[in-house]
Amino acid sequence: MKYFIKILFPLFTILVFSSMAWAEEKIPVFPTTPIDVYTIYTSLAVFWLAIIGLIVVIKMKLNEIERIQKLGIDREDNKAPLLD
Amino acid sequence: MIWLKCKNWIEERYDIAELKKLAKSKLVPQHCYDFLYYTGGITLFLFILQFITGMLLAFYYIPHVDFAYESIIDIVTKINIGWFFRAVHHWGAQLCIVFVFIHLFGTLLTKSYRKPREFIWVTGFVLLVISIFFGLSGYLMLWDERAFAAVRVATGGAGNLPVVGNFIKIFLRGGTDVTGDTLIRFYAFHVAILPVLSLLLIGLHLLFVQYHGMSIPVSIEKKEHKEEPFFPNVFYKDMMIWLVVLGVVVTLAILLPPEIGLKANPLAPPPEGIKPEWYFLFMLETLKLFPGTIYGFNGETIAIVCVSIGIFFFFLIPFIDRKSMRGEKSPIFTVIAIVFLLYFITMTLVGFLS
């Protein structure tokens, strides 16, 4: 598995994408070195994990807010005595 | 401690509590079509993304006929993650126009344009036109053969409009043909004129939305419906959607980075099978439906006039739809909206597949 991620996966992606990029002598619009390709795809996976994590956190916070709103304890009590 | 000091410093000068109260008092209706409210927020988010990535690209882009193409190649190949920002800018623009269209047709189908929200429609419609012109002017920045031919066709098409067509064509091109002057002119539009106009219009659009509140579809207006505060409930939901959109834009930028063709050569014939950007395809396919001459008149001119009338009618819908104005259902305009939508999708698909 480690070998696949470290060597075979970048090799495979570089072969596929580079063959597509150089087939008609096109300008490479994406990094072509295996290490860059590997870094970019890993970063994309981490980026999505971060997004999902943030969404989960926001959703939890929203659920908590909605629970408090349902209980009605978020509203300001105008009759509450003021402490000087 | 510093945070508290800063907070106190601001609160001594500005009534933040009142602002918070105002944000919490804004209510958003909840119903089966409320997902359409988020399309406006997504468009705003994409506009912001475009501004940020555009500013970064502007550091390295050279708006000169001899260096524009080379500077883009430098951005893509030499500048650190320049390829990424260019790709994000490209896909951000595509998605922005997609969501502007979804927002527009959503507004049309739910009759959100009806009295008293006509000016929200007007500002939104002008923002759509600006977005499309953003796309066209940005496309020429690349200065490759496809961009060159597409702008030549688009500005030439505008030139077919009777009376004002020639003036528009020469004004846009900065001469009789697409040259380096056109590039400078389009650059000025893309980075100075259109951003200022769009900022003003976005401000006005949001101001009108705040003033009138969110619109409720006619079919639901009289029924009982729930409402939720904009802050923090809808704001948090907006945040979640924006994160997903950001993820989609970044993924598209990485998996499908936009290609760069050969450098534009004004003397070379246009490349075969050239197509404009997808949002112009419906117009191109409409032009193809018309013959070269109709009763001695230029077919292309008649086609452009017909399309312009159609778009102008589209723009005037809030002022024509009397039933919606009275808060009644107006099925005719629902049918018109569906016809417009189907025509746009069909012609775009035909243009894409042909």
Secondary structure of residue B227 in the 3-state scheme: strand
Cβ atoms B183, B137 nearer than 8 A: no
Q: How high does pLDDT run on average in chain B?
A: 91
Cβ atoms B107, B208 nearer than 8 A: no
Mutate to test the interface with B, among A62, A70, A76 (most CBs of B within 10 A): A62
Tell me how close the Cα of B243 comes to any Cα of chain A, in angstroms. Answer: 6
Q: For tokens 């598209």, name the residue.
A: B252
Q: For B250, which of A41, A47, A55 is closest by C-beta distance?
A: A47
Q: Which residues of A touch B246 (CB under 8 A)?
A: 51
Q: Which residues of B touch A30 (CB under 8 A)?
A: 83, 254, 257
Are B243 and A55 in contact (CB < 8 Å)?
A: yes
Q: Where residue A6 falls among pLDDT bands split at 50, 70, 90?
A: low
Cα torsion through B200, B94, B119, B333, rounded to 10? 170
Q: Which residues of A touch B233 (CB under 8 A)?
A: 62, 65-66, 69
Q: Which residues of A touch B91 (CB under 8 A)?
A: none
The single-letter DSSP state of residue B14 is S
CB proximity B76 to A under 8 Å: yes
**Alpha-carbon gap, residue B86 to B54, rounded angstroms:** 8
Exposure of A70 by Cβ count < 10 A (0-12 exposed, 13-18 middle, 19+ buried)?
Answer: exposed
**What parts of chain B have a pLDDT lower than 70?**
none
Q: Which residues of A touch B237 (CB under 8 A)?
A: 62
Task: Write the CB contacts of A68 (distance below 8 Å, at least 6 apart in sequence).
Answer: A74
More confident residue, B8 or A10: B8
Q: Taking residues A7-23, report their average pLDDT.
A: 52
Does the structure show a pLDDT above 80 at A9?
no
Cβ atoms B127, B120 nearer than 8 A: no
Which H or E run contains B297? strand B297-298
Q: For tokens 């018109």, name the residue.
A: B336
Give, to the nearest 10 degrees, the angle between helix B180-188 and helix B165-173: 90
Q: CA distances (Å), B260 to each of B86, B179, B241, in order? A: 11, 19, 31
pLDDT at site A13? 55
The amino acid occupying position B171 is F
Does the structure show a pLDDT above 80 at A80?
no
Are A29 and B251 in contact (CB < 8 Å)?
A: no
Q: Where residue A23 falls among pLDDT bands split at 50, 70, 90?
A: very low
Task: Write the CB contacts of A4 (distance below 8 Å, at least 6 apart in sequence).
Answer: none
Tokens of B226: 């729930």
pLDDT at site B107? 93
Which residue of A lies nearest to B21 if distances are taken between CA atoms? Answer: A76
ipTM over 0.90: no
CB proximity B258 to A under 8 Å: yes
Q: For A58, which of B87, B240, B257 is closest by C-beta distance?
A: B240
Q: For B76, which of A27, A55, A61 is closest by C-beta distance?
A: A27
Q: What are phi and psi of B151, to 5 degrees?
A: -70, -35
Q: For B73, which of A27, A58, A61 is closest by C-beta distance?
A: A27
